[in-house]
Structure 1
Amino acid sequence: MKTWKRLPAVLLLIIALLAAAVMPAAAEMLDMSGFNGDLITVSKVPRGKAGNKISIKMTIHNTGTKGDNILEEIRLANAYEYERIMEREFGSSGDDDDDESGDELRRYHNSFPFEADSSTFDAKKINVKPGASKTITMSYKLRRDLPAGYYQAFFIIDGQEVGVNIWVSAYDGSSTEEDDGNNTDYDFSIGDGQFTPYAAYGQVMNFNVNLTNTGTRKVYDVRVDMQLDADVTKFPFDINEGNYNRKMGDMEPGQMVEVPYSMGVRTDVKSGFFPIHYFVTYREEEGGNFSEPVDLVFYVHVKGEDDDELAADAGEQDRTKARIIVDSFSTEPQEIYAGAPFVLKVRMKNASSNVSASNIMFTFVSEEVESSPIFTSDTGSTSMVVNSLSPGEVTELSMLFKPAPTAEQKSYRMTIQEQYDSPEFKNAKEEVKISLQVKQEPRLNTSTIEVMPDNLEVGSETNVMFGINNTGKVLLYNVMVRFEADSIQTSDTYVGNIKPGETGNVDTMVTAVAPTMDDGRVKIIISYEDENGAVTEVEKELMLFVSEAVDPYEGMEAGMMEGMDGMEGGEMEGQGSFLSKYGKIVFPIAAVLAIGAGSFIVVKRKKKKEKELEEEELDDEIS
């Protein structure tokens, strides 16, 4: 019974052995020691997955001595160079099939393992001096069709060929586009986001060096070792300690630490920029071995005694000084009005790329009109002091000003005078200018408003006259007057532009359309525009009463009705009914007839009298 229980395990073992016998052996590493010589070393075999990026880390050694060439650049060997190296150094036949030579099975892949694009074979600057070493990392994308096993990557360093073994695991379908963008597992950068430190000979330079873990993995027990040199032309600082190694502890991916230094600048140093080398070592695993040192370079700027020798006889064109400019400015409030205080904020920037400024005094000087400044400060002082500005640094100046109440509406200059020290230039003087727009408040009033008549009936018109006086200091554009009330017809009158100190006259007719039902106030709305077309309205008022129109025949009808009071009731009732219905027609006709009858009688009498006179004259002649 026990034998039967062991049978499945035995079968599995047999199957595994059979599979191993028929499967091709994974490719093995090649011996690169004789091929590379002492030019490069690799602490561990780079590993990657087919279809993803692989990071290849190596340390390059320039074994030359002083006076030999610098190793300047490195690039990946292309597919043609790869095949040639494999054929020459390792006897590759140019294909990837397993074939026998001397009854031995070839145990390595000879396929170029990388995907290539336009930048794959670009050279990378390394600049390794004679006697120095530098650790670099190169990243490339692996082909997706690679079987698992060891492959080789060959590089050309200033014409010299070197090679690195890499391990590739087979593509399993789990790779993503994000995998293609993986960063280097272990890498660092130095000096991120900081300016070049500066100091003069004999001074102490206190500075921090920013060190960033730019890899994708945590590193342990990070140590930074400044590389010293007794040669003053290579190292500008006094060497007062046995070593300048700093222990920075563990660092997470993306973490930045500041490595502090306080260094005395040598008195015999020459002015210039000095590259300071820092060797960074770390452990990939807690308690593991230290990595090969990564060589990082950080520059410092020092001023030597030679600068002072230049300053003794050099003109301004021979000496460099900082360039301080206005980066931007603003005011609070945004619009400045004559006589109203405002806060001016100016951002000053040292636009120099490598020259600092110190002991800086900024003085604000206003434009003057008739020997009087337009802008004044309540404190009386218009100067400010800033201790220093590094190259590219910005500082903000803020000061309260008040424009003269009588200032005309226009732009005025504000000059910012600068006086400062630069390493090669003491008491440098410069000035920059800005322009500030000052506005005046528009002002107007009206003369006595005349209304003739001020009482009228519906349907009648009245004449309105008054003057608009521009009492401000700005032109009033497109002045309009509008009359509004329930009792009148709304109307507009165009006056035009009114210059400062002048008057625009209004003379218009207003038509009554309804009886006044309130206190008789009529709105007068005066509108004008500024130079930007913005409209402002000012409201005034006048008094005007409108009454119902009266019928001119209403009294005559009433009189005639009263004269008929003595008539009998029936007759009166009929006449009253008739007159109330046709009175407005009958009375005018009766009046015309009466006038006509009167005229006929007068003419008749005149003719009769003329006839009588003729008869009397005839009787006199006969007698």
Structure 2
Amino acid sequence: MRGMRKWKRWAVFLLLFVVLAVGGSRTAQAEMLDMTKYNDDLITVSKVPHGKAGNKISIKMTVHNNGTKGDNYLKKIRLANAEEYKTLYTYDDDDSDSDSDISWTGKHFPFEADSNTFKEKKIDVKPGSSKSVTLTYKLRRDLPAGYYQAFFYIDEMPVGINIWVSAYDGSSTEEDDNTKLDYDFSIGDNQQTPYAGYNQVMDFGVNLTNTGLKKVYDVRVDMQLDADITKFPFDINEGNYNRKMGDMEPGQMVTVPYSMMVREDVKSGFFPIHYLVTYREEEGGEFSEPVDKVFYVRVKGKDDDELSADAGEQDRTKARIIVDSFETIPAEIYAGQPFELRVRMKNASSDVAASNIMFTFASEEVENTPIFTSESGSTSVVVNNMAPGATADLSMVFKAAPTAEQKSYRMTIQEQYDSPEFKNAKEEVKIALPVKQEPRLNTSTIDVMPDAIEVGSETNVMFGINNTGKVILYNVMARFEADSIQPADAYVGNIKPGETGNVDTMLTAIAPTTDDGKVKIIISYEDENGVVSETEKEMLLNVSEAFSDDGMDGMDGMDNGMDADADAAQAGGAGRIAPMLVIAALVGAGAGVVVWKRKKKKIAGEKALEDELEEELDNELGEPEMTTADVSEDETKDVEKEQNDHLKRKKK
């Protein structure tokens, strides 16, 4: 039946050639011709494609396979070239006397031709079904405005449609033309070809972009499966791989996710995967005809392993995994303290994937002891796969050895992984981790001599500063601060680990102490980067007011009075001095007895003697006061004798 239709078409074409040879001709670019009889329901077009001369035009049509079960697929479509245009005619108005026939010349071919213009496109429309197909070509710049015809071959059966071309105005660009269609999509924008080996899972996404002018609703993407391993490289584990992507605004891109296991017996190479995209032009409306889009994946089969087994290491390709960045939390690592190491690894290969990756952290050792130890005990991390350019974040908690010296130590990251052509590849990368030691010091006994001074006086302060840590203390100083002293600094210098720096300085008192007498000692030091740290100590120092000379004035007055008394005594005669001295002696003796009485121990054997002495003293002091005039020389001698006897008894 189809062969009969094809014979009739060629008969019509031959007849038109004869008519055109006899009759005149007219140009085609201004005519919109009737294509319904010519296309014989093989294709339909919902609206005439529009384009601008010099720009691209997208031609959307729906291909129908009206056959029944058992008939062949409609497999491919291509654009007819300029020579084929000369043998194709697009119009017959059933009027044999009409001069409406058209002759074709090369100038009516509306497209610019290059190596891709006439390539076949796979459509695979099965019997009884339809498929939406969009083809894009560049229009010639010299086309006048008007209607033109585009001719195609579907499995060598010619079909044609009308297109409208507006004249070139010098302002159009190819970018403007990309959004000429109201509804259109592109696939695979801004992404690399996914890659995986046999028996591996390929996790990948397909970027789908709405390149049309209008919003589309309820977009659905259906991956086309095929049991033929030469056409479809993945195991089929689901009933369908239809993905619902929702509504899409113009210019919006979505990623359609897939996770597929590569077949074990697949052959290496690139495989085209077909995706049918359907959508609604209006919310709640009918679904459009499916738009067929193709996306390529690359797989590696066992056939590559046969070559790799005999190849040397330098002849086989493998992934290159590097350290992209790393950090520690906290930022500074101190000996004896835990820290978290975060490392971002990157597959720096442009086209080689890595799988079954094991990263092992190995610390530098000092005297067969690792500087960094894992708190969990394990030092390995496993990553399933890394595509070319992909990254993986590793994290592990370590503790630096308490005895580690202050410097940088190596951490080696050992890598073992598979690449498509290289199994159990082994590499290693290194990073440097600086370790710091906490500075430590203490002080010896602080000597203050004297620890009590008057205002204006000085005291000497001495003590030692011991470096008990493992790092040098640079530019050590001691600063003294208190309200009672003048602020003072003492420079000590650098102190090596295990050594002592001495402080020996004088402090000057400027005010009396009003508090508990504490003086603040601030010890400062620097690290190797000049960062200053301080620690604080205390000492005691009491400051009092200075002694005044005003008290000596009273003593001078007493001296003057005594001088006056001496003069008076001299005027009264020397005979009066002796009795006065005797009285003074008696009074002094009595006072001495009183002091002795208060301090003596109460011993029973001495009680009688004490009573006797007190009675004699009372008798002596109880006499009426005598003047020097009343005391004779003999009486004075008697008193002195009595006093001497009294002292002898006291000694006994």
TM-score greater than 0.5 by the shorter chain: yes
Change (3 A) 1:200 1:466: closer
Who is 1:550 aligned against? 547
Would you say the 8 A contact 2:262–2:299 is kept in 1? no
Change (3 A) 1:400 1:262: closer
- Alpha-carbon distance in structure 2 between the residues aligned to 1:260 and 1:378: 38
Change (3 A) 1:260 1:401: closer
Unmatched tracts of structure 2, length 5 or more: 1-27, 62-76, 82-104, 124-132, 151-160, 168-175, 565-652
Who is 1:146 aligned against? none
Who is 1:429 aligned against? 426
Who is 1:378 aligned against? 375
> Residue 258 of structure 1: which of 220, 236, 256 is its match?
256
Who is 1:463 aligned against? 460
Tell me the CA shift for residue 526 of structure 1: 0.5
- Alpha-carbon distance in structure 2 between the residues aligned to 1:501 and 1:457: 39
- Alpha-carbon distance in structure 2 between the residues aligned to 1:195 and 1:397: 25
Unmatched tracts of structure 1, length 5 or more: 1-27, 66-86, 91-121, 141-148, 156-161, 169-178, 569-623
Tell me the CA shift for residue 487 of structure 1: 0.6
Change (3 A) 1:319 1:546: same
Percentage identity across paired residues of the two chains: 63
Tell me the CA shift for residue 131 of structure 1: 5.1
Secondary structure at the aligned position of 1:523 is classed as strand
Residues 149-228 of structure 1 mapped to structure 2, 5 A cutoff: 164-165=163-164, 185-191=182-188, 196-201=193-198, 209-219=206-216
How large is the RMSD of aligned CA atoms in angstroms? 4.8
Change (3 A) 1:189 1:237: same
Q: Does 1:481 find its partner at 2:478?
A: yes
Who is 1:562 aligned against? 558
Secondary structure at the aligned position of 1:563 is classed as helix
Question: Alpha-carbon deviations, 1:458-482, whole Å to 9, x = none?
Answer: 1122222222111111111221211
- Alpha-carbon distance in structure 2 between the residues aligned to 1:438 and 1:128: 68
Question: Alpha-carbon deviations, 1:271-307, whole Å to 9, x = none?
Answer: 233333445455545656845x655331211112321
Would you say the 8 A contact 1:64–1:131 is kept in 2? no
Who is 1:30 aligned against? 30
- Alpha-carbon distance in structure 2 between the residues aligned to 1:127 and 1:47: 18
Question: Alpha-carbon deviations, 1:198-230, whole Å to 9, x = none?
Answer: 444577868664434343423367565667899
Who is 1:334 aligned against? 331
**What TM-score do the two structures reach when normalised by structure 1?**
0.61
Secondary structure at the aligned position of 1:558 is classed as helix
Would you say the 8 A contact 1:63–1:131 is kept in 2? no
Q: Does 1:445 find its partner at 2:439?
A: no
**What TM-score do the two structures reach when normalised by structure 2?**
0.59
> Residue 348 of structure 2: which of 334, 346, 351 is its match?
351
Secondary structure at the aligned position of 2:212 is classed as coil
- Alpha-carbon distance in structure 2 between the residues aligned to 1:32 and 1:352: 55
Tell me the CA shift for residue 366 of structure 1: 0.4
> Residue 395 of structure 1: which of 364, 389, 392 is its match?
392
- Alpha-carbon distance in structure 2 between the residues aligned to 1:467 and 1:226: 82
Would you say the 8 A contact 2:269–2:298 is kept in 1? yes
Tell me the CA shift for residue 512 of structure 1: 0.9
What amino acid does structure 1 have at the position aligned with 2:421?
Answer: E
Would you say the 8 A contact 1:527–1:537 is kept in 2? yes
Change (3 A) 1:152 1:529: farther
Would you say the 8 A contact 1:62–1:132 is kept in 2? no
Secondary structure at the aligned position of 1:44 is classed as coil
- Alpha-carbon distance in structure 1 between the residues aligned to 2:481 and 2:420: 74
Would you say the 8 A contact 1:43–1:58 is kept in 2? no
Larger Rg: 2
Residues 453-602 of structure 1 mapped to structure 2, 5 A cutoff: 453-551=450-548, 553-565=549-561
Tell me the CA shift for residue 385 of structure 1: 2.1
What amino acid does structure 2 have at the position aligned with 1:165?
Answer: W
The worse-fitting range, judged by mean Cα deviation, of 123-132 and 327-336 is 123-132
- Alpha-carbon distance in structure 2 between the residues aligned to 1:229 and 1:284: 30
> Residue 129 of structure 1: which of 119, 126, 130 is its match?
119
- Alpha-carbon distance in structure 1 between the residues aligned to 2:332 and 2:302: 51
Would you say the 8 A contact 1:64–1:130 is kept in 2? no
Would you say the 8 A contact 1:206–1:262 is kept in 2? yes
What amino acid does structure 2 have at the position aligned with 1:258?
Answer: V
Secondary structure at the aligned position of 2:308 is classed as helix
Would you say the 8 A contact 1:204–1:265 is kept in 2? no
Tell me the CA shift for residue 152 of structure 1: 7.5
Change (3 A) 1:462 1:136: farther
